[in-house]
Copies of this chain bind each other. A is one copy, B any other.
Amino acid sequence: MSPRRVTLADVAKAAGVSRTTASLVLSGRGRELRISQDVEQRVVQAANELQYRPNIVSVGLRTGTSRTIGFISDTVATSRLAGDMIKGALEAARERGFMLFIGETEGDAELERLLLQAMHDRQVDGLILASMFTRTIKVPKSITAAPAVLLNALPEQPTPLPAILPDEVEAGRRAARVLLDAGHRDGIHLIGAGPGIGDVPPESVAAVERLVGIREALGEAGVKVAGGRTCPDWQPEHGFTATRDLLETARPRALICFNDRIAMGAYQALDDAGLKVPDDVSVVSFDDHPIASWIRPRLTTVALPHYELGRKAVDVLFTEIDNDDTDPDRPGDVHRVPMPLRSRESIASPSAAQSG
């Protein structure tokens, strides 16, 4: 096919030295092993002229490394979420000269096992186990063959693996504070979870933590949640029905929607009821999904930092790779990545209208 790759032997021959010498010079150990300036220069020049690049496969065989990390997620296709997370991981890895293997388990444990095997067979230097929505996962035990971190997930059983998660509690506080700052005190309703601390969809870490943050911040201001409705699935249609049902019995002044898709449904229900956002009802939400800036008025929302999560996962993974002396009994650190507020036009001060 193409002209054979340039090998170290070619460089050595061109420079008139042994492969050993060429290897020492090019791996930067020439100085410490007293290779002469003259030889060093000849080797470097030969390498440049021949455009030599070391074959990473060969290096991998000798050293057991591959300059590669594996990114295993339950799905890569849900919204742009996955894309941004992968992008962050990709860039952080590239900065260190590492490539990314992508794998998708679709929640299938057997597939996950095969994928881990395939990655180990390729001698990955580390693994990222990612979930596309924040939740607890069962960590496969074969994971211990290489350093690993959990991304957007917490282990069901205690493990020494570090976890990288969005700071959902603080996000909840932030959403609540936006309403408080605008002057809201009454008629604050939740759509997607709540009002009680137990009213959350199963397995959703995000729901629990956001709810905790919301209740904390409101509580500190002496404000009570007026009501809340749990949605079985956080999709627009459920946001719509939950809000429509709410409007039959109450006149909310502000809605905290548990994600942007729910908020979109809420917008539709408010519109049907002839209520204007933000003049009649303020709306704040979570995620910063692309639609948040497509719907009108544009939605104020607390953003999931997907890109940063991906970067952070790689950063933490590299510290794991570097100090290999981790205590297998100490549970892994949990790293929280801040969720920034995106202020848009869906919040206003409560008018002098009726409360609910």
CB distance from A267 to the nearest CB of B (A): 10
Q: Which of A36-44, A52-60, A180-188, A193-201 forms contacts with chain B?
A: A52-60
Q: For the complex, what is the distance from the CA of A60 to the CA of B55, rounded to whole Å?
A: 11
Q: Are A53 and B121 in contact (CB under 8 A)?
A: yes
Q: Are A100 and B101 in contact (CB under 8 A)?
A: yes
Q: Which residues of B contact A261 (CB under 8 A)?
A: 294
The digit string for A70-88, where 1 denotes a CB below 8 A from any CB of B, is 0100011111101110110
Contact count band on A: 35 or more
Q: Are A87 and B104 in contact (CB under 8 A)?
A: yes
Q: Are B68 and A78 in contact (CB under 8 A)?
A: no
Q: Are B90 and A99 in contact (CB under 8 A)?
A: no
The digit string for A255-266, where 1 denotes a CB below 8 A from any CB of B, is 000000100100
Q: Are A294 and B264 in contact (CB under 8 A)?
A: yes
Q: Are B87 and A1 in contact (CB under 8 A)?
A: no
Tell whether A247 is near chain B: CB-to-CB under 8 Å.
no
Can you name 18 extra interface pairs (CB under 8 A) apart from A77-B84, A99-B122? A2-B144, A55-B121, A55-B123, A56-B121, A56-B122, A56-B123, A57-B123, A68-B101, A76-B87, A77-B83, A78-B83, A90-B104, A94-B103, A97-B118, A99-B118, A100-B101, A101-B101, A268-B296
